[in-house]
Amino acid sequence: MTLNWAKSKKLIAAPLILILATVTYTLKSTSEDEASTSYIVNAKNSQALQQAFNKLGITPTHHLSLIDSFAINLTKSQLILLEADVAISITKNHQVELAGWAKGKRRWQPSADANLLIEADKAHKSGIYGENVTIAVLDTGLDQLSGLSKDLRGRDKVWGTYDAINNAVFNFDREQNGHGTHVASLAVNSDFDINGRIYGIAPNAALVGIKAFDSEGKSTYADVIRGIEWAVGIKDKINLRVLNMSFSGPAQSYYWEDPLNQAVMKAWQAGIVVVASAGNGGPDPMTIGVPGNIPYIITVGAMTDNYTPSDKSDDKLASFSAAGPTIEGFVKPEIVAPGGHISGLMAFDSAIVTEHPEYHDGGRYFEMSGTSQAAGVVSGAVALMLSNNPSLTPDQIKCQLIASARPAINAQSQLAYSVFQQGAGVVNVADALASDTSCLTTTMDIAKDLANEQHYVGPAFIDEQGNFSIKDGGDFYSWKVNEEVLNGDGFIWRTSFDIDGFIWRTSFDTNTDLQWRSEFETDGFIWRTNIETDGFIWRTSVDIDPNASIKINAWVDQQ
């Protein structure tokens, strides 16, 4: 099916239920007298795995074909029998939940500041509004409020919602939480503020909801993966080019071992630009979580205009914005975007509004802070880029966003924040649309990564003073983590400052038995890549927390 955007007032997003047939999965309890736990199971011999399931009399709750896995409930005894019967890779089906929202001062007259801050208004003046691009928001669902349901020409633009929890498609959704609607509105809201400015970054982009989180903001790995799998399967039918994922959680393994990350990588490989929030665990280093720790995708941190959108001299990085590097040594986030006190759509009876009514304007707008909001802004920016040039690949989109971003530079012409905090800087849509930067020099192969043939580590390391640095990057990229950043030091978002792209393009090969060494080398904490060892001295282990959960990002103070 193709979209018809040319004719005014035409339906541009047909109901999903006319396109799709849903698939149901049989649910079967494993034992009435022994508690069971949900796992995600994979085996090289899938036929043998199915036979093992049959022998045990158990039925998967989810068939996650995107990553050749199954979600299944197993008792301890069943798990022992299954592992004895067939060689499997098994991961606990982690719980996923919303972590909260934000508080701060209430704005009675919501204004569309994000467009100005990233210069999306210049794209609008050039007639670029996001046509012919569908954005999927994997979240708590969508309320089809005015601004989300129609584009600037009054055409329907919402395809509907896929409920990954119940494996069903709905033409209309009634979201009870509010988070998903808020994030989506930052990307595509076609309403105008009191000053006549458009709220959304890409107001004519089409929208589809993927509900993987319930009304309490809770989910599981299996439901999130099923939502991603659905997005990959439907992408060509509705021209789904952008997938927004505004949640994060602590890394439980290397990026390539995590089943949720594997599904996200499959989406990127399939041509979908994945935009993930960095998380609200900042300002400490190494707080980037899943799925933002994937080196391929676009991970977004948050900045704030400090309540003065017309004065950029007092802008600052949001203190809650998670920082890199990742456990594997990659520089994250790639970019930052407005994520402080952002006004977006949210129904008055949503759960978030019920908890924090003082930040609702009494109508349809709610003020909220977080990297979730920053990711929504960037998803809209990506839609503008793809609308302007549909031939762009996910890698090209990422590189052009990085190349055109504006880093915060202080009066001494040094980075006001390290690349591990601000990435390449704040996104600038106008410059991104004019960029022709490519990623031809990248050394990573996502197909080999997914096939478990080759994995990668990044260029970051810790020096003997405990500072984070970039291999061959010199002092300029070093993050002295104990030094305070002076926000009032007159830094600006520079347009002519070049952050060398090598810090994102550089990667090193490793293999599946990468080890973290604890010995101290004479040249300090350094990265060893295929030289004497297959690891580097960073941490003695990857800490595994069996109770950890992925969350749609935490409620933080408004900034």
Token reading at 313: 């001299």
Is residue 82 within a helix (H) or strand (E), and if so which, with residue range?
Answer: helix 76-85
Q: Give the phi and the psi of residue 191 in degrees, each rounded to 5.
A: -75, 165
Alpha-carbon span 431 to 118, nearest angstrom: 10
Name the β-bridge partners of 42.
69, 89
- Label the pairing between strands 69-75 and 36-42: antiparallel
Is 139 labeled as catalytic in the residue annotation?
yes
Q: How many helices (H) and strands (E) does the chain have?
A: 14, 25
The dihedral region occupied by 473, where left means phi > 0, alpha psi between -120 and 50, and beta the remainder, is alpha
Give the 3-state secondary structure of residue 224: helix
Token reading at 45: 């011999």
- Catalytic-labelled residue, pool 94, 124, 179, 356: 179
CA nearest neighbour of 117 among 416, 558, 428: 428
Alpha-carbon span 246 to 269, nearest angstrom: 20
- Label the pairing between strands 365-368 and 408-409: unpaired
- Label the pairing between strands 556-557 and 102-103: parallel
CA atoms within 13 A on the CB side of 94: 25
- Catalytic-labelled residue, pool 69, 350, 372, 404: 372
- Write the CB contacts of 483 (distance below 8 Å, at least 6 apart in sequence): none
Q: Tokens 């550089």 map to which residue?
A: 506
- Catalytic-labelled residue, pool 113, 121, 139, 223: 139
Q: Tokens 């508690």 map to which residue?
A: 35
- Write the CB contacts of 6 (distance below 8 Å, at least 6 apart in sequence): none
CA nearest neighbour of 57 among 101, 102, 26: 26
User: DSSP letter at 65?
Assistant: G
Q: Tokens 């991970």 map to which residue?
A: 299
Q: What angle do CA 263, 246, 69 make, to 5 degrees?
A: 20
Inter-residue contact 227 to 212 (CB < 8 Å): yes
Token reading at 20: 């799709």
Inter-residue contact 554 to 371 (CB < 8 Å): no
Token reading at 49: 């795995």
Burial bucket for residue 115 (CB in 10 Å: 0-12, 13-18, 19+)? buried
Alpha-carbon span 386 to 383, nearest angstrom: 5
Is 372 labeled as catalytic in the residue annotation?
yes
List active site positions. Answer: 139, 179, 372
